[in-house]
Amino acid sequence: MADFIKNPVVPLPDQDPEPQIPAEELVFTDAEKQQIAHWVTRYPTADGAVMRALWLAQEKFGFLPPEVVRLTAEELGIPYAQAYGVATFYTQYYKKKMGRHVLDVCTCFSCQVCGGYDILHYLEEKLGIHKGESTDDGLFTIQEVECLGACGSAPMLQVTNGPFVHNLTPAKVDQLIEDLKQGKTPPFVSVTLPQDEADLGGNRRSDAAAVEAYQTPPVSATVE
Protein backbone atom coordinates (compact mmCIF):
# COMPACT_ATOMS: atom_id res chain seq x y z
CA MET A 1 0.00 0.00 0.00
CA ALA A 2 1.28 3.44 -0.85
CA ASP A 3 2.90 5.15 2.10
CA PHE A 4 0.64 8.21 1.95
CA ILE A 5 -2.40 5.94 2.25
CA LYS A 6 -0.97 4.13 5.27
CA ASN A 7 0.09 7.44 6.83
CA PRO A 8 -2.25 10.14 5.50
CA VAL A 9 -1.82 13.73 6.64
CA VAL A 10 -5.10 13.35 8.47
CA PRO A 11 -7.02 10.07 8.71
CA LEU A 12 -9.12 9.10 5.73
CA PRO A 13 -12.89 9.05 6.20
CA ASP A 14 -12.97 5.40 7.25
CA GLN A 15 -10.05 5.96 9.59
CA ASP A 16 -11.57 8.77 11.64
CA PRO A 17 -9.93 8.83 15.06
CA GLU A 18 -11.69 9.71 18.26
CA PRO A 19 -13.17 13.20 17.81
CA GLN A 20 -11.03 15.84 19.46
CA ILE A 21 -13.73 18.48 19.74
CA PRO A 22 -16.57 17.58 22.16
CA ALA A 23 -19.84 17.04 20.29
CA GLU A 24 -21.59 19.84 22.18
CA GLU A 25 -18.93 22.31 21.02
CA LEU A 26 -18.89 21.10 17.43
CA VAL A 27 -21.33 23.66 16.06
CA PHE A 28 -21.22 26.97 14.26
CA THR A 29 -23.10 29.83 15.88
CA ASP A 30 -25.90 31.51 13.93
CA ALA A 31 -23.58 34.44 13.22
CA GLU A 32 -20.90 32.11 11.85
CA LYS A 33 -23.46 30.32 9.70
CA GLN A 34 -24.64 33.66 8.35
CA GLN A 35 -21.08 34.67 7.60
CA ILE A 36 -20.44 31.43 5.69
CA ALA A 37 -23.74 31.80 3.84
CA HIS A 38 -22.74 35.35 2.87
CA TRP A 39 -19.40 34.13 1.48
CA VAL A 40 -21.20 31.44 -0.51
CA THR A 41 -23.26 34.13 -2.27
CA ARG A 42 -20.06 35.68 -3.58
CA TYR A 43 -19.05 32.62 -5.63
CA PRO A 44 -20.74 30.75 -8.48
CA THR A 45 -20.83 27.57 -6.38
CA ALA A 46 -20.58 26.89 -2.67
CA ASP A 47 -17.17 25.24 -2.90
CA GLY A 48 -15.72 28.66 -3.79
CA ALA A 49 -16.15 29.63 -0.13
CA VAL A 50 -14.36 26.59 1.25
CA MET A 51 -11.08 28.35 2.05
CA ARG A 52 -12.76 31.15 3.97
CA ALA A 53 -15.06 28.75 5.79
CA LEU A 54 -12.13 26.51 6.78
CA TRP A 55 -10.26 29.57 7.96
CA LEU A 56 -13.21 30.61 10.09
CA ALA A 57 -13.37 27.08 11.50
CA GLN A 58 -9.66 27.11 12.32
CA GLU A 59 -9.95 30.46 14.08
CA LYS A 60 -12.84 29.09 16.11
CA PHE A 61 -11.55 25.62 17.00
CA GLY A 62 -7.80 26.28 16.79
CA PHE A 63 -7.16 23.51 14.28
CA LEU A 64 -8.96 21.32 11.76
CA PRO A 65 -9.42 17.74 12.95
CA PRO A 66 -11.58 15.59 10.64
CA GLU A 67 -14.80 16.37 12.50
CA VAL A 68 -14.28 20.10 11.98
CA VAL A 69 -13.53 19.63 8.28
CA ARG A 70 -16.70 17.56 8.06
CA LEU A 71 -18.76 20.18 9.91
CA THR A 72 -17.47 22.85 7.52
CA ALA A 73 -18.21 20.73 4.46
CA GLU A 74 -21.73 20.07 5.72
CA GLU A 75 -22.31 23.77 6.36
CA LEU A 76 -21.24 24.52 2.79
CA GLY A 77 -23.16 21.55 1.38
CA ILE A 78 -20.08 20.18 -0.37
CA PRO A 79 -18.48 16.71 -0.20
CA TYR A 80 -16.24 16.07 2.79
CA ALA A 81 -13.49 14.92 0.43
CA GLN A 82 -13.45 18.30 -1.24
CA ALA A 83 -12.98 20.20 2.00
CA TYR A 84 -10.47 17.56 3.15
CA GLY A 85 -8.45 18.07 -0.03
CA VAL A 86 -8.21 21.81 0.55
CA ALA A 87 -7.44 21.50 4.26
CA THR A 88 -4.64 19.03 3.66
CA PHE A 89 -3.13 20.89 0.71
CA TYR A 90 -2.16 24.03 2.61
CA THR A 91 0.27 24.08 5.53
CA GLN A 92 -1.57 27.19 6.71
CA TYR A 93 -4.47 24.96 7.78
CA TYR A 94 -3.49 23.12 10.93
CA LYS A 95 -4.53 19.48 10.92
CA LYS A 96 -3.51 18.92 14.53
CA LYS A 97 -3.18 20.98 17.66
CA MET A 98 -0.26 23.33 17.28
CA GLY A 99 1.93 25.23 19.68
CA ARG A 100 1.05 28.82 20.48
CA HIS A 101 3.62 29.98 17.93
CA VAL A 102 3.92 28.10 14.65
CA LEU A 103 7.23 28.73 12.92
CA ASP A 104 6.87 28.07 9.21
CA VAL A 105 10.38 27.81 7.83
CA CYS A 106 10.60 28.11 4.05
CA THR A 107 13.05 25.69 2.41
CA CYS A 108 11.87 26.21 -1.14
CA PHE A 109 14.29 27.20 -3.91
CA SER A 110 15.53 30.66 -2.95
CA CYS A 111 15.43 30.02 0.77
CA GLN A 112 17.18 26.68 0.37
CA VAL A 113 20.02 28.24 -1.61
CA CYS A 114 20.34 30.97 1.01
CA GLY A 115 20.48 28.60 3.97
CA GLY A 116 16.85 27.69 4.68
CA TYR A 117 17.85 24.24 5.88
CA ASP A 118 20.52 25.74 8.11
CA ILE A 119 17.81 27.84 9.73
CA LEU A 120 15.43 24.90 10.00
CA HIS A 121 18.06 22.70 11.65
CA TYR A 122 19.18 25.52 13.90
CA LEU A 123 15.59 25.93 15.11
CA GLU A 124 15.19 22.17 15.55
CA GLU A 125 18.32 22.00 17.64
CA LYS A 126 17.47 25.12 19.62
CA LEU A 127 13.96 23.93 20.49
CA GLY A 128 14.86 20.21 20.69
CA ILE A 129 12.12 19.11 18.29
CA HIS A 130 11.84 18.01 14.69
CA LYS A 131 9.80 19.83 12.11
CA GLY A 132 6.15 18.84 12.53
CA GLU A 133 6.53 18.62 16.31
CA SER A 134 5.67 20.92 19.20
CA THR A 135 7.67 21.72 22.30
CA ASP A 136 6.46 20.13 25.54
CA ASP A 137 5.48 23.50 26.97
CA GLY A 138 3.12 23.99 24.00
CA LEU A 139 4.85 27.22 23.00
CA PHE A 140 6.35 26.34 19.63
CA THR A 141 5.67 24.17 16.59
CA ILE A 142 8.05 24.00 13.63
CA GLN A 143 6.82 23.39 10.11
CA GLU A 144 8.82 23.16 6.89
CA VAL A 145 6.87 24.99 4.19
CA GLU A 146 6.99 25.80 0.51
CA CYS A 147 7.60 29.23 -0.98
CA LEU A 148 5.86 32.01 0.93
CA GLY A 149 6.45 34.59 -1.76
CA ALA A 150 9.26 36.49 -0.06
CA CYS A 151 12.12 34.94 -2.01
CA GLY A 152 13.90 38.27 -2.28
CA SER A 153 14.57 38.24 1.45
CA ALA A 154 15.47 34.57 1.79
CA PRO A 155 15.88 32.71 4.02
CA MET A 156 12.70 33.59 5.84
CA LEU A 157 9.99 32.18 8.06
CA GLN A 158 6.43 33.09 8.96
CA VAL A 159 5.06 33.21 12.48
CA THR A 160 1.65 31.57 12.96
CA ASN A 161 0.24 32.58 9.58
CA GLY A 162 1.20 36.16 10.41
CA PRO A 163 4.33 38.26 10.15
CA PHE A 164 7.31 37.27 8.03
CA VAL A 165 10.82 37.38 9.46
CA HIS A 166 13.29 38.10 6.67
CA ASN A 167 16.95 37.38 5.95
CA LEU A 168 17.26 34.94 8.82
CA THR A 169 20.46 34.29 10.67
CA PRO A 170 20.94 32.23 13.86
CA ALA A 171 21.16 35.49 15.82
CA LYS A 172 17.82 36.62 14.38
CA VAL A 173 16.29 33.27 15.28
CA ASP A 174 17.58 33.60 18.86
CA GLN A 175 16.05 37.06 19.12
CA LEU A 176 12.76 35.89 17.63
CA ILE A 177 12.42 33.00 20.07
CA GLU A 178 13.25 35.26 22.99
CA ASP A 179 10.71 37.86 21.84
CA LEU A 180 7.98 35.28 21.34
CA LYS A 181 8.61 33.81 24.79
CA GLN A 182 8.08 37.30 26.18
CA GLY A 183 4.87 37.68 24.21
CA LYS A 184 6.35 40.07 21.66
CA THR A 185 5.19 39.31 18.14
CA PRO A 186 7.44 40.67 15.41
CA PRO A 187 5.93 43.48 13.34
CA PHE A 188 4.79 43.03 9.77
CA VAL A 189 7.59 44.11 7.44
CA SER A 190 6.89 44.48 3.73
CA VAL A 191 9.42 43.01 1.37
CA THR A 192 11.20 45.88 -0.31
CA LEU A 193 11.72 46.05 -4.04
CA PRO A 194 15.11 46.98 -5.44
CA GLN A 195 13.91 50.43 -6.45
CA ASP A 196 12.65 51.11 -2.89
CA GLU A 197 15.74 49.94 -1.06
CA ALA A 198 17.16 53.39 -0.46
CA ASP A 199 13.88 54.85 0.81
CA LEU A 200 12.73 51.91 2.89
CA GLY A 201 16.01 50.74 4.35
CA GLY A 202 15.88 47.47 2.46
CA ASN A 203 15.48 43.94 3.76
CA ARG A 204 16.84 42.00 0.82
CA ARG A 205 19.90 39.88 1.35
CA SER A 206 22.98 41.26 -0.32
CA ASP A 207 25.67 39.72 1.88
CA ALA A 208 26.95 37.00 -0.42
CA ALA A 209 29.17 35.68 2.36
CA ALA A 210 26.07 34.43 4.18
CA VAL A 211 25.09 32.29 1.22
CA GLU A 212 27.16 29.23 1.94
CA ALA A 213 24.56 26.63 2.82
CA TYR A 214 23.95 25.28 -0.62
CA GLN A 215 24.88 21.71 0.28
CA THR A 216 22.98 21.51 3.55
CA PRO A 217 21.02 18.26 3.64
CA PRO A 218 17.31 18.32 4.36
CA VAL A 219 17.60 16.07 7.41
CA SER A 220 19.06 17.36 10.64
CA ALA A 221 22.32 15.63 11.54
CA THR A 222 22.07 16.31 15.24
CA VAL A 223 18.45 16.12 16.38
CA GLU A 224 17.59 12.50 17.19
Supply the minimum distance, in Å, between the C-beta of residue 188 and ligand FES: 15
Q: CA–CA separation, 126 vs 119, rounded Å? A: 10
Supply the minimum distance, in Å, between the C-beta of residue 112 and ligand FES: 7
Nearer to ligand FES, 86 or 148 (CB): 148
Nearer to ligand FES, 65 or 155 (CB): 155
Nearest one of 130, 135, 131, 128 to 146, comparing CA atoms: 131
**50-61 vs 66-76: helix crossing angle, rounded to 10:** 140
Nearer to ligand FES, 101 or 166 (CB): 166
Taking the CA atoms of 182, 112, 88 and 43 in sequence, report the sign of the dihedral they define.
positive
Residues that bind ligand FES (CB under 6 A): 106, 108-111, 147-151, 154, 156
Nearer to ligand FES, 78 or 150 (CB): 150
Supply the minimum distance, in Å, between the C-beta of residue 115 and ligand FES: 11
Nearer to ligand FES, 16 or 146 (CB): 146
The DSSP symbol for 49 reads G
Q: CA–CA separation, 146 vs 104, rounded Å? A: 9
Supply the minimum distance, in Å, between the C-beta of residue 202 and ligand FES: 17
| Phi, psi dihedral angles at 6 (to 5 degrees) | -70, -35
Supply the minimum distance, in Å, between the C-beta of residue 217 and ligand FES: 18
In what side-by-side order are the strands of the sheet with 140-145? 140-145, 101-106, 157-159, 164-165
